[in-house]
């Protein structure tokens, strides 16, 4: 198996920086042992203007068979000779993907101790894979790579050049070019998509592959138009794992929704103004309403569930009445941004002791969420598919059971007051639904009844006499310690 990565440069920004990024010196040819053979790294060219790194993987077909996945695709029995004579030594597959992650592990993580500024730099990249199995053909190759910012040149490989009437094989020759990606992003794309195109893996897919997929796919997989196909093939079509990954990716899309876009919408909705005074944006008024409700409940220890980039956590930290504030989100990217927003690395010890951020999915019960005075779900539920709401409901109201729960969500009736929103459109592209006041009340009343809470409703923003407020908030207060019912 063979793959090359090429970049170009200038005397001020030499292409040989690729050696620092890959942690492999351009003047050396190196060999690395893998479970299924030997990976060689060498540089066919290494100049300031152009530098190319090549990865050559020599596959040990005997080792592949002995470890259980060489008997035809997926481990199915095959003819004795076919166990050893197949395309595995030549065609890019999960074997090459694993070699990439093993040999270039630091580069894939975006780590370079010698030159820490390099991994974050976008640079011209050209990746060539001479022989790539593509179950789905050239069209699928383009559908997978082009949305990620690659210019794709893909040519089918003929079954036999002397007999063109036989048609094309399932293999393609692939060239990827981009001026808008970092090397780490490029390697992560290849790591996931090479075995997806092959539609097979050389090892057994265990449950921890879901975590691996979400980690390597962070920042690009949740919004990929072929996300479902990628997830299914990467997890070898194991239904339970695919479903788990899909659910978690849906929550990631929520967390990675563009806050700036949401703020812009909120600003537009809140722009109904008195002539002499411009009102605060709706996002600010929403946080103010949440803080007021938390103070009225006398909550000191607060969960911000689906905290996103940390706007509410930042607001709560300004009030000493809140002694412990925990932000929970499924997206590490969002949590990283929140950490930067809060300046956790520069925060004083006393202030830092009041706040923590951790990763978690609201679709699953989590013992870390138990024992808090209050939990906030601010603009969260509308980003979930309706069939997933019962899982969130049970995780929050049935398992965690804080004394107070605040839930805010858009009021779809108010959308007619926003002139720039076309009729029938929701406020944000990731909203799976937007409820009327009656629909929200029906849902909230049923949740309260099932889990032993009372519920009150509070308008947020200007309360229009005809269509109500732009945001509706439900304040749940625990009334009984009874056993919660599963929704």
User: How high is the pLDDT of residue 169?
Assistant: 81
Contact (Cβ atoms closer than 8 angstroms) between residue 167 and residue 158 = yes
The whole-number average pLDDT for the span 289-315 is 94
Residues of the chain above pLDDT 70, percent: 84
pLDDT at 278 over 50: no
User: How high is the pLDDT of residue 420?
Assistant: 67
The whole-number average pLDDT for the span 348-377 is 91
Whether pTM exceeds 0.75: no
User: How high is the pLDDT of residue 253?
Assistant: 66
Which residues make beta-bridge pairs with 471?
410, 460
Q: pLDDT tens digits, residue range 98-140? A: 888 889 989 998 888 888 888 888 999 999 999 888 888 899 9
14-18 contacts at long range (C-beta below 8 A, 24 or more positions apart): 14/48, 14/51, 15/46, 15/47, 15/48, 15/49, 15/50, 15/51, 16/46, 16/47, 16/48, 16/51, 17/51, 17/115, 17/118, 17/123, 18/51, 18/53, 18/183
User: How high is the pLDDT of residue 95?
Assistant: 84
Confidence class of residue 80 from pLDDT cuts 50, 70 and 90?
Answer: low
User: How high is the pLDDT of residue 159?
Assistant: 77
Q: pLDDT tens digits, residue range 413-466? A: 998 887 666 666 777 777 889 999 999 999 999 999 999 999 999 999 889 889
User: How high is the pLDDT of residue 199?
Assistant: 83
């Amino acid at each position: 198996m063979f793959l090359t990565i090429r970049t170009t440069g200038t005397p001020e920004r030499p292409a040989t920086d690729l050696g620092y990024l890959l942690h492999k010196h351009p003047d050396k040819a190196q060999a690395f042992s893998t479970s299924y053979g030997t990976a060689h790294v060498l540089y066919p060219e290494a100049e300031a203007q152009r530098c190319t790194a090549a990865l050559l993987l020599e596959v040990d077909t005997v080792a592949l068979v002995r470890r259980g996945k060489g008997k035809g695709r997926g481990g199915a029995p095959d003819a004795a000779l076919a166990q050893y004579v197949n395309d595995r030594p030549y065609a890019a597959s999960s074997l090459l993907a694993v070699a990439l992650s093993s040999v270039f592990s630091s580069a894939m993580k975006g780590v370079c101790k010698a030159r820490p500024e390099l991994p974050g730099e976008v640079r011209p990249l050209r990746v060539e894979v001479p022989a790539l199995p593509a179950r789905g053909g050239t069209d699928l190759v383009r559908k997978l790579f082009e949305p990620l910012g690659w210019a794709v040149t893909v040519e089918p490989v003929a079954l036999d050049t002397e007999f063109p009437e036989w048609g094309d094989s399932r293999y393609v020759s692939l060239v990827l070019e981009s001026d808008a990606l970092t090397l780490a992003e490029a390697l992560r794309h290849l790591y996931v998509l090479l075995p997806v195109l092959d539609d097979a893996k050389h090892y057994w897919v265990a449950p921890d592959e879901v975590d691996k997929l979400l980690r390597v796919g962070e920042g690009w997989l949740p919004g990929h138009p072929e996300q479902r196909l990628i997830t299914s093939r990467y997890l070898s079509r194991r239904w339970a794992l695919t479903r788990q990954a899909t659910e978690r990716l849906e929550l990631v899309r929520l967390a990675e929704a563009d806050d700036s876009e949401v703020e812009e919408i909120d600003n537009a909705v809140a722009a109904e103004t008195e002539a002499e005074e411009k009102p605060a944006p709706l996002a600010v008024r929403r946080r103010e309403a949440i803080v007021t409700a938390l103070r009225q409940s006398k909550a000191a220890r607060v969960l911000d569930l689906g905290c996103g980039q940390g706007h509410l956590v930042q607001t709560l930290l300004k009030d000493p009445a809140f002694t412990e504030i925990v932000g929970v989100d499924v997206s590490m990217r969002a949590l990283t941004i929140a950490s930067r927003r809060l300046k956790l690395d520069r925060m004083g010890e006393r202030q830092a002791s009041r706040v923590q951020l951790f990763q978690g999915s609201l679709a699953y019960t989590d013992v870390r969420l138990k024992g808090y005075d209050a939990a906030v779900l601010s603009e969260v539920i509308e980003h979930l598919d309706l069939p997933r709401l019962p899982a969130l409901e049970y995780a929050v109201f049935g398992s965690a059971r804080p004394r107070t729960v605040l839930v805010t969500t858009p009021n779809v009736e108010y959308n007619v007051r926003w002139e720039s929103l076309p009729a029938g459109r929701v406020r944000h592209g990731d909203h799976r639904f937007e409820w009327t006041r009656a629909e929200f009340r029906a849902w909230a009343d049923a949740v309260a009844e099932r889990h032993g809470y009372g519920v009150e409703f509070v308008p947020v923003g200007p309360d229009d006499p005809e269509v109500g407020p732009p945001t509706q908030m439900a304040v749940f207060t625990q009334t009984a310690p009874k056993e919660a019912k599963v929704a």
